[in-house]
Structure 1
């Protein structure tokens, strides 16, 4: 790996934080100060309109490093964070905001916008995994998980469907459309699925249908009151990746 892969590095409270760039996608890698061989890698996606340094994501990433000893990576989705939004993306965003303000269905716009973002972001995540696996502290055999709600799930479900390096995932709070359902039918890894039970924009029936569509034999549904705008942190099973990624062939918990 070229040293120029990383653009900056800071160390605070036992967490090493390094910025990197893979193609057009800027990212952040959080890791313990000392990394043992086989340490799991968790990919964390951000929600729509957020970015790789959103406070909630950074907090979860640091917790995963300090609590579980994991390495965590996040990248900006197209048109998010440090990446300029295209005119087409801006049109989709403006249309969604207008539909939300008028109380109209956003389903068709979100399906088109999220579908386009996933088509662009899935190859970027795969290129990021390629690059990270070249790092000596990660390597080609490291267990990999993916975690993320809303837009991150719209990207992560198609990613998990095509990249078998991802061996466990947490999804949820995602708008359901045909492409997402098709991708879910190809996902066979262990998953946890978070379902907002009182969401005005994502009905619970579509969420339960998507959960049912996953081909995974090991899958758990966590329903919680409220909407996808605020997920109670206690609803996220913090030991899920510790159980799934620290199995035979990886380091002991």
Structure 2
């Protein structure tokens, strides 16, 4: 992992890094020392690692709980090169949306291709982050990602035993139900009741597929991009409960 820039604002240090060809960013308390819980953020489709919503989430988690928080550009996003395959998959989805047709099969294919590339990347990034003194191996790790962030995050969390708790949502069961059935950590799940991209019954089916019984459904009225701002505070409480308590228990042990 190579750090290429660092800035500090309101007590939050932001360090941009690269790991091989993966660009990312790490937020942590300024001048932080010693291990701490880590939260990984997965951005949505067409977004990037420094999307304003992700930055707001990261700063809140750092200042309220002292977490380290990291995000990376998913394949074909942000500072990563476009590919013919990625552009074709995106074009198929946009064409279906323009025609007013369901996009579930296209989204399932898109998520599967993305996850095949992104899951091992996230595992490599997690390895490198846990080697840092102010993150540390053995500390609790959370994952937050909605929409495409869930399309990547659900297979990642299903495959990664270091994850302690996760926030998912704005996604349907097509192509994700099997991975969801392998998730054995607490989950907070967001859905928009009037989501124009994810059918209501598909989102509910994905929530139902999550194997672990400690799971909570947060359903709000509105369209795909209209998740209420107060859900940030709910996710903060969720991670504080699971990551900070887990960290205290591990220290005591």
Which TM-score band applies after superposition, normalised by the shorter structure?
over 0.9
Structure 1 contact 176–210 (Cα < 8 Å) conserved: yes
Q: Select the residue among 203, 207, 212 that pairs with 1:211.
A: 207
Give how far 1:110 is off: 1.3
Describe the SS at the equivalent of 1:105.
coil
Matched pairs, number = 248
Q: Select the residue among 41, 46, 71 that pairs with 2:43.
A: 46
- TM-score calculated relative to the size of structure 2: 0.94
Q: Following superposition of structure 1 onto structure 2, how do residues 1-253 of structure 1 map, counting pairs within 5 Å? A: 5-35=2-32, 37-177=34-174, 179-236=175-232, 237=234, 238-250=236-248
- String of CA shifts for 1:54-78, please: whole Å, max 9, x gaps: 0011011011111111110000000
Describe the SS at the equivalent of 2:135.
coil
Return 5+ residue gaps in structure 2 as ranges: none
Alpha-carbon distance in structure 1 between the residues aligned to 2:248 and 2:120: 26
Structure 2 contact 104–198 (Cα < 8 Å) conserved: no
Structure 1 contact 224–235 (Cα < 8 Å) conserved: no
Give how far 1:45 is off: 0.8
Describe the SS at the equivalent of 2:32.
coil
Describe the SS at the equivalent of 2:222.
coil
Describe the SS at the equivalent of 1:230.
coil
Structure 2 contact 47–78 (Cα < 8 Å) conserved: yes
Alpha-carbon distance in structure 2 between the residues aligned to 1:185 and 1:27: 29
Give how far 1:209 is off: 1.2
Alpha-carbon distance in structure 2 between the residues aligned to 1:189 and 1:113: 25
What RMSD over aligned residues (CA atoms) do the two structures have, in Å? Answer: 1.5
Moved more, 187-196 or 105-114: 105-114
Structure 2 contact 196–224 (Cα < 8 Å) conserved: no
Structure 1 contact 143–250 (Cα < 8 Å) conserved: no
Alpha-carbon distance in structure 2 between the residues aligned to 1:98 and 1:235: 31
In structure 2, do the counterparts of structure 1 residues 172 and 83 end up closer, same or farther at CA, with 3 Å as the change threshold? Answer: same
Alpha-carbon distance in structure 2 between the residues aligned to 1:224 and 1:44: 21
Alpha-carbon distance in structure 1 between the residues aligned to 2:14 and 2:198: 35
- TM-score calculated relative to the size of structure 1: 0.94
Give how far 1:228 is off: 1.8
